[in-house]
Structure 1
């Protein structure tokens, strides 16, 4: 007997309570299997990433740290506030200074951002200073204030946007030798911020350990270039002034990328969970098909139950897509 005939037989009374139990068990088994598959899809990349981080840290004598003190200290650095987390935190020393690399996520009511941060500690707190690629508007809520600051180098003004509460302080720190260093190719695409006792650089997205050393070199050059009189003004004597001796890389560096290529939307700064997306899609398709089959068989209650499950899964997916679109629009408005 074919499937059509069997379905017709069941629709006129051939369906038993045992069949309903079997259907329920099958549905539960499907959900369990789907949950296991999604767990594996998530867990395998996570474990692989953790192994890579441990190996990277061991090579440099760095340590894996899981505390959230840094997250509390950085809360609101993007002006979104609300909630922030620091993950994949590796800390150690670079060129004799405490340094760290981590993933930072800050979420507000209607926007969030995920960035890879590399930071170098300063001996004393310095006033806030933000340098961003000129393609970025950097007008996030809670910015340090003040207008964009112009410098005597047209090339630097075309490449970088500088904001600070004190224009004189910005000019003292960003002197011609540092401008020349920041025009080198290894500084392309970075946003460099002085905040409290740290100077950090960030780019949107997950941690990329392959770029940490390059970014640390840029930050170390930045700190080395701060003139002695700036340090003295803030209660610290670094010794002989070596700001003018900051080396500019002589190796061939890529040409400066077009401004628009540097712009990053929140779509790039936010991870897409492909495992969850695929699993949700499969769940909607399977539960919808099951609801149709049950309806044809005349089993209205199980059919309604499957249809409700499919509708909930679909509504959740659509909701996430709408939220993501809203975040991307706000990111573009903010210059991310």
Structure 2
């Protein structure tokens, strides 16, 4: 497990799956050998001959490969969420609390470029949403290179550079490759608990003003991180969607969205269609001269 609370690494997940599959194969070979012996014995016996051990072994391995390859494909295509694990529970929870299950997962896949979302292998599962007078909130399991995170997000009409807030206990030793730097505030207690990371200190301090800091100091989850990217306000934590955490995370994300200063909204108009910078780069990546939002 990773010490920063981000869950197992991709190679660890793959290694466990490979070992499990080979264990299954090794246990199944004796059974396949017996089945192969019966099949060949019946076929050769019908023709008046006798099956030798080599033929039985070849057939056993053929059957093993035929069964093993689909299992291997399924193991690497299925993420940690499982094919249907928790789906019924999430749907029942959502319907009993006024949430909807009709949102489109593709809206959020490859949406953000800040860590830990900077990947080309993402999948959104168990996506639910709620709309009321304070806006629309989405909750989902966001699978990043086979590692799931519980993400809750809402959107405000502006486009700003990324600002990350990471609990100091989870802070990575290295600065992000995109050039983000750690920013301190005048509140020592806040600095001892949260680390602000951004390539734009002025914008970061505009977003993380005293009222935002006061709200973040009330968070009771030591693994929860916050991201402001483009117009999205995102809170996320390791693991699959936790139904007991949906409501407090939704409350937090809406509170943070309402605390975005009006002048920040006015000075940073949203991108066309409400898209993110990463999504627009993907849309225009085939243009010969390139494009930069």
Bucket of the pairwise TM-score, normalised by the shorter protein: 0.5 to 0.7
Query: Helix, strand or coil: the match of 1:218?
Result: helix
Query: Helix, strand or coil: the match of 1:201?
Result: strand
1:119-268 equivalence runs, <5 A = 119-138=153-172, 139=174, 141-143=176-178, 145=180, 147-235=181-269
Task: Tell me by how many angstroms 1:150 deviates.
Answer: 1.3
- Structure 2 counterpart of 1:98, from 136, 141, 147: 136
Call closer, same or farther: CA 1:81–1:90 in 2, change over 3 Å: closer
- Structure 2 counterpart of 1:58, from 71, 80, 95: 95
Q: TM-score, normalised by structure 2?
A: 0.59
Query: Helix, strand or coil: the match of 2:241?
Result: coil
| Equivalences, count | 214
Does the CA-based 8 Å contact 1:84-1:106 persist in structure 2? yes
Call closer, same or farther: CA 1:46–1:209 in 2, change over 3 Å: farther
> Highest CA radius of gyration, 1 or 2?
1
Structure 2, unmatched stretches of 5+, are 1-48, 271-293
Q: TM-score, normalised by structure 1?
A: 0.53
Q: What is the CA RMSD across the aligned residues, in angstroms? A: 3.6
Call closer, same or farther: CA 1:218–1:94 in 2, change over 3 Å: farther
Equivalent residue, structure 1, for 2:121: 84
Query: Helix, strand or coil: the match of 2:256?
Result: helix
Query: Helix, strand or coil: the match of 2:183?
Result: coil
Call closer, same or farther: CA 1:37–1:72 in 2, change over 3 Å: closer
Structure 1, unmatched stretches of 5+, are 1-15, 237-336
Does the CA-based 8 Å contact 1:100-1:119 persist in structure 2? yes
Call closer, same or farther: CA 1:70–1:47 in 2, change over 3 Å: closer
Q: Does 1:18 align with 2:51?
A: yes
Does the CA-based 8 Å contact 1:78-1:140 persist in structure 2? no
Q: Distance in 1 between matches of 2:119 and 2:266?
A: 36
Does the CA-based 8 Å contact 1:190-1:203 persist in structure 2? yes
Decide which structure has greater helix share.
1
